[in-house]
Amino acid sequence: MRTWRGLVGLTAFFAFWQGLTMVGIIDPFMMPSPISVIEALWEMALDGSLWINLGASLQRVLVGYAAACVVGVSLGLLCGWWRVVADFVRPVVDALRPIPPLAWIPITILWFGIGDMASYFLVFLGAVFPTFIATYTAVRGLDRNQMNAALCLGAGPRLLFADVLIPASLPIILPGLRIALGIGWACVVTAELIAAQSGLGYLIQQSRMLFQIQNVVAGMVAIGLVGLLMSLLLERLERRVNAWAPSERA
Amino acid sequence: MNQMSMIAADTPIAIAGLSKIYPGQRGGTAVTALQHVDLTIRRGEFVSLLGPSGCGKSTLLSIVAGFQKASEGSVLQDGVPITGPGPSRTVVFQDYALFGWMTIQKNVEFGLKAKGMPARERAEIARALIAKVQLSGFEDKYPHEVSGGMKQRAAIARALAPDPEILLMDEPFGALDAQTRVLLQEEIARLSSDAGKTVIFVTHGIEEAVFLADRVVVMSPRPGRVREEVLVPLPRPRTAEMRADPWFVRTVKDLWDTLKPDWQKEQGQ
């Protein structure tokens, strides 16, 4: 039912857009109609350029995001568990966090040149903070009584970590990881606009220079759809893992 | 066996000169939660700690559990100082503190898993305990799928699973409705009597304290200290009709009369 509503919403959006171009409110040169965008997507799918660039972007986002998850979750666990560590780390994080990934691009190019490494780094920067904050918040908010219950039942560090700390934290960590992936995906495109020779961002940039506006929008649509798909997949995973949690039962 | 160890063997918990002082936060005044508490608990004894909020009864329980440290004095279990929580002293919490991500079966198995018991064996023991607290058929339910009373039954089974020497209950029926509370009181009376466990039961319910305990330790607030002790001569296991026993009725009333000023003071604050 909800999937159905989502499809109706998307269809209505595209229909509205198509309508605007057909009655001439939108100049098709400035904003091509959805049908010509779909045609452009289809052509890029047939000649393979869509897949090559999509693959390059996905590979970059996965590497950067994986690194962000490892660092963000570990640091979040450490800071959540030991207040002293948080006292040292949090000011640094809170000072770095407001710097948008875009502002990191010049120095990223200086450090890594133009290539995959620059993209990994920018994705990492975009995704690591929400991952950290979610994990930190989750561990901070753990129910003291549940911890005590586990301890008095004889739980050692390993059982406490694997059977209590982690599952109790997941209802807050997983939505954070989902948001971080969305940000990472946006960052990879940003990075590719400037600091890469392939990927969906690069495709958009190249098409703009060639005045292939329908390809620019086709690239944007591809980014949006892939982002939507990622979000849906992670949300489904969340619902399974956190089925017990109040937040998933509302 | 010398005399000292015999005493130790008979008194699983010995509390002497126990004080707990919380230092004031940011220049605030320090709070004395417990002052010079002496309390000895015999093996197999059911002791109720009774008092209004602020009398330190939960703090005392938490120190015996090993969750908090005493500021002064000693707390010994079988003659050995208590330094932290452990499976010989398991706790039943007011808010159940069940693991929401585990089924009731897995919750009850937790303490056995911590011991390193093989999966099949612990499943068997847990099932038997679940039957004992009358939750058979609910093994595969998650805590959020069952009622408050059932949650607390599950929490009791979980606390009994590691076969603790002492069961610590911290206002376990505080969050339940009156009828469920009465039913669970009778359940606890039966279980504790069957299992022969030493129990420390924290409550602010006078009737509940007297109904369940061999000895009621009455505490008073600010600073928390032991005010008096009442020995309960009723036989065990306790049954519902004992609530009508003249001694029971009179004792509950007397305790209410002595505690009333404390209660009123706490309400007024």
Strands laid side by side in the B89-92 sheet: B89-92, B166-170, B198-203, B46-50, B215-220, B225-231
Length of chain B: 269
CA distance B117 to B134: 24
Q: What is the pLDDT of residue B261?
A: 83
Query: Which one, of A183, A54, A195, lies nearest residue A123 by Cα?
Result: A183
Helix (H, G, I), strand (E, B) or coil at A27: coil
Question: Would you call A159 and B84 a contact, using CB atoms and an 8 Å cutoff?
Answer: no
Window 112-131 of A, Cβ < 8 Å to B: none
More confident residue, B229 or A3: B229
Output the tens digit of pLDDT for each of chain B's 269 residues.
444 444 555 778 999 999 999 887 777 788 888 999 999 999 889 999 999 888 889 999 999 999 999 999 999 999 899 999 999 999 999 999 999 999 999 999 999 999 999 999 999 999 999 998 999 999 999 999 999 999 999 999 999 999 999 999 999 998 888 888 888 898 888 888 888 889 999 998 999 999 999 999 999 888 888 999 999 999 888 888 999 999 999 999 999 998 888 878 777 65
Q: What is the pLDDT of residue B221?
A: 84
CA angle A184, A189, A192 (to 5 degrees): 125
Q: ipTM more than 0.85? A: yes
- pLDDT of A25 strictly over 90: no
Q: How close does chain B come to A62, measured CA to CA in Å?
A: 29
Residue B94 structure tokens:
């007011």
Interface of B with A (CB under 8 A): 65-67, 84-87, 89-91, 93, 95, 97-102, 110-111, 113-115, 142-144, 158-159, 161-162, 168
B64 and B15 in contact (C-beta within 8 Å)? Answer: yes
A17 and A33 in contact (C-beta within 8 Å)? Answer: yes
Provide the residue ranges of all domains of chain B, joining segments of one domain with +: 38-88+164-269, 98-163
CA distance A190 to A201: 6
**Looking at beta carbons, which residues of chain A come within 8 Å of B113?**
159, 163
Domains of chain A listed by start with CATH number: 55-239 (1.10.3720.10)
The closest CB to that of A152, out of B65, B101, B113, belongs to B65
Residue B139 structure tokens:
């093994």
CA distance A8 to A248: 24
Fold designation for B38-88+164-269: Rossmann fold (3.40.50)
Mutate to test the interface with B, among A152, A239, A249 (most CBs of B within 10 A): A152
Q: What is the pLDDT of residue B2?
A: 46
**Looking at beta carbons, which residues of chain B come within 8 Å of A154?**
86-87, 111, 114-115, 162
Q: What is the pLDDT of residue B262?
A: 80
Contacts 24+ apart (CB under 8 A), A224-228: A226/A54, A226/A58, A226/A185, A227/A182, A227/A185, A227/A186
Question: Would you call B99 and A167 a contact, using CB atoms and an 8 Å cutoff?
Answer: yes
Q: What is the pLDDT of residue B269?
A: 52
Q: Average per-residue pLDDT in chain A?
A: 92
Question: Would you call B86 and A249 a contact, using CB atoms and an 8 Å cutoff?
Answer: no
Please name every residue paired with B91 in a beta bridge, in sequence order, or none if there are none.
Answer: B168
Residue B32 structure tokens:
């004395």
Q: What would the pLDDT profile of B83-140 be if each residue is shown by its tens digit?
A: 999 999 999 999 999 999 999 999 999 999 999 999 999 999 999 999 989 999 999 9
